[in-house]
A and B are shown apart, each in its own frame.
Chain A
Amino acid sequence: MSDKINLKALERKAYLAYYEDGLLDMGIGAVLAWLGGVALTELDFPFYLWYILGVSVWTSAKKQITVPRMGYVKFRETRKGRVRKLIYVFILVLTFIMVIGVLLFKSTVAVETPGWIFVIRDYGDVIFGAIFLGGGLMSVGYTTEVKRFSYYGGSAFTLHLLNHFLTLNPTWDIWQAMAPVNLLLGIVMLGNGYMLLRKFKEKYPITGEPMHE
């Protein structure tokens, strides 16, 4: 027991304990590995299925793995507010990406291709990979205060930037150009998440709540 009680640190400790299970790492890692894998192998698996599967698997895993070991806690509004803001930012970014996607599709059937399409074509991996993905993961790290997500974000930013200048195949489209980094990062996150999950299970074995009188 430490000599003084720091209430902010106590709240942070309680909050961070919920991310010790590595499930978020595994969830984001699986999506990234899928993005990379699909782009390289040209397999088809609709993104919305990942969304539906991802959310339901994550919720169920939290319920089956985390809560029986850690117990249940409801955080105060200030903490929930930060996470809510992050969700809004992600919805905004996803909407932006979808709009860009639609505009890109429209431009392929347009008579004259607008200039900005070439910027997206030439620097799409930097915009989507380094800025959106790297920045997105860093903002997850900032909002949740889970440092490893900032490291993932920093790695995504650096690797996508490097990848842009060391393009393996110049004929690849944006998604294929981003695929090696996404696949690598996804596998690292999956692996790290799995290790965290193992540690979490050892640290918090299922004991259940004893019966009260």
Chain B
Amino acid sequence: MSESRDDFPDVKAIDKLIHEPARLILMANLYVVESADFLFLMNQTGLTFGNLSSHMSKLETAGFISVEKEFVEKKPVTRLSLTDDGRSAFDDYKRRMKHLFSDL
């Protein structure tokens, strides 16, 4: 098993936090904009409030996204954006995934 893994060194280096489908979609949506609020991301990703909230927390803990909570006209608004670390982690993820399949 370990020998076959060594044939694919890039597989081991893939960030599992980003690789999870819902988080990958969330990261991709944030990658193409400067910032977006919770409602916009719910509409674009099709994730439920609970799902989005839990993935958001994981990515925030990893330092990949920054979350700002505020009230606009007495309504709660949560703005999300990719941090520099998050952006470079996503770039790295893209590069590794491309590299992984390039020879197939």
Contact = CB atoms under 8 A, between A and B. Distances in A.
Interface centre among A7, A70, A71, A210 (most CB of B within 10 A): A71
A211 B76 contact: yes
A71 B39 contact: yes
Interface string A98-137: 0000000000000000000000000000000000000000
Contacts of B24: 5
Interface in A162-213: 204, 207-212
B35 to A, nearest CB: 5
Contact of B39 (A7, A77, A207, A211): A207
A207 B28 CA distance: 24
Nearest to B42: A71
Contacts of A70: 39-40, 43
B76 A72 contact: no
Contact of B53 (A1, A17, A204, A212): A212
Interface size of A as a range: 20 to 34
A13 B46 CA distance: 13
Nearest to B22: A1
B37 interface: yes
Contact of B32 (A7, A17, A207): A7
Contact of A209 (B31, B36, B38): B38
Nearest to A5: B28
Given A5-B24, A7-B31, A11-B33, A72 B78 contact: no
Interface size of B as a range: 20 to 34
A75 interface: yes
A75 B31 CA distance: 10
A5 B90 CA distance: 13
Contacts of A10: 28-29, 32
Nearest to B39: A71
A73 interface: yes
Nearest to B49: A210
B65 interface: no
A89 B76 CA distance: 38
28 contacts: A1-B21, A5-B28, A7-B31, A8-B32, A11-B32, A11-B33, A14-B40, A71-B36, A71-B41, A71-B42, A72-B37, A72-B77, A72-B79, A73-B36, A74-B35, A75-B33, A75-B34, A76-B32, A77-B34, A204-B43, A207-B39, A209-B38, A209-B78, A210-B49, A211-B76, A212-B53, A212-B76, A212-B78
Across chains A and B, which 4 residue pairs bring their CB atoms closest together, nearest first?
A71-B40, A71-B39, A11-B32, A73-B36
